[in-house]
Structure 1
Amino acid sequence: MKYLCNIRIPQPAFALRFKRDELGSMAVEGVLAVLLMMGWLITALQFFDGYRVKTLNTKAAYTISDLLSREKSTIGPTYVEEMKKVFDFVTDARGDSWIRVTGIEWVAAQNQFEVQFSYATGGLQAYTTAALQSEATRIPAMPEGDMAVIVETSMNFDPLFGLGDKALTLGGETTTIGLGSNIWMSNFVVTRPRGPRIVWSDSY
């Protein structure tokens, strides 16, 4: 019996037995443990896949940058579009992706980087000299008249299972686990030509 405000409140016999019972069921506990382990495994696989795709994205960006740095022939929009195919192949891109190639030169008299050429796939805006200045802090210092090529890559990544898009609301608070969809993975790589300066022509 319990006493509340001097009033005796009887408790059902089964409630007393349940409170005192220390027996358990391995089958029930096993099911609960398996569910927790499966949830952890799925979340771990999702993050592993995300890092795998990010690594592929970075390697693809540096591969394209290295190819450009060794290029001795004239390049142009068609060349960049073909590099986009290389990028999609290396990353196995299943969603939207784009690359942008920009040739720059340091002009000491104007104390800024000047765009020699710029082209982007997927209808993305190419760089102008004015627009490039917002990225100037990401570009290493260069001597007067030196040239470099900026390769930017970006791809859309949708994680496995879409756990991050599913939310649980308890007590007015929303909790999410894992990665959400529509994640853009981007790279910004600056490379100097290994040989002669890269020549651009809109007809290539």
Structure 2
Amino acid sequence: MALNKIISFAKSFRDDKRGTVAVEAVVMLPVLFWAFMAMSVFFDMYRAMSTTEKAAFTISDILSRETAAVDLNYLDSVHDLYDEMSSLNTIGELRVSVIAYNPDTGKYFLDWSHMTGDVDLGLTDNDLLEMEEALPILVAGERLILVETFGVYTAPVNVGVGTVNMNTFVFTRPRFGPQLAWNDA
């Protein structure tokens, strides 16, 4: 008798359709909320990468039009412009290098390289060897201005992205002079 009541209650509970929408909502709303937040974070990350690349191209273009020698004050000013143009929520770093190619040895070499920030970590010849395949082919005597930016994107909401490096690598040929000169004074 008690077993029949339990079986009857179990069958009626199984066949009862009331409340299924509420249960489905409780299951699906967190997933939909996470998906909405993830889309917002991915869009913001794409926007940050886009503004960072545009800022790097702008700085590269500014340097390519420069006819006077640049110094650390000039690089610091250009770095401030980069920080204003980029939508990263952290302050990035900027490295500018002038590279040439020696056709006799078949190797690229540095004219100069400097980086903004507390420690000047300019490119070295070993760094240049590692990035050789990313550089365009140059003719003898031609110079190339290489602008690299280093920044980190941190998502405003934790949706599993974490931090993403937003580094750029932009090269431009000098436009109005044979090369971009460095002034140590």
Normalised by the length of structure 1, the TM-score is 0.81
Asked if the contact 1:50/1:159 (under 8 Å) is kept, the reply is yes
1:1-204 to 2 correspondence within 5 Å? 11-122=6-117, 123=119, 125-164=121-160, 179-180=161-162, 182-196=163-177, 197-203=179-185
Matches of 2:141 and 2:71, distance apart in 1: 22
Q: Which stretch of the first structure deviates more once superposed, 73-82 or 92-101?
A: 92-101
Higher helix share: 2
Please tell me whether the aligned partners of residues 154 and 185 of structure 1 are also in contact (alpha carbons under 8 angstroms). yes
Q: Residue 52 of structure 2 contacts residue 87 of structure 2 at CA under 8 Å; is this kept in 1?
A: no
Using the alignment, how far apart are the partners of 1:109 and 1:71 within structure 2? Answer: 29
**8 A Cα contact 1:75 1:201, kept in partner:** yes
What's the Cα RMSD here?
Answer: 2.2
Length-normalised TM-score, structure 2: 0.88
How far residue 34 of structure 1 moved from its aligned partner, in angstroms, is: 3.5
Distance 1:29 1:128 in 2: 60
1 CA distance for matches of 2:14 and 2:21? 19
* Structure 1 segments unaligned to the other structure (5+ residues): 1-7, 165-178
- Equivalent-residue separation in structure 2 for 1:39 and 1:51 (angstroms): 18
Unaligned runs of 5+ in 2: none
Percent identity between matched residues is: 28
Between structures 1 and 2, the one with greater strand share: 1
State the AA in 1 paired with 2:181.
Answer: V
Aligned length: 181
Q: Could you tell me whether the CA contact under 8 Å between 1:49 and 1:160 is conserved in 2?
A: no
Instruction: Give the secondary-structure state (helix, strand or coil) at the position aligned to 1:44.
Output: helix
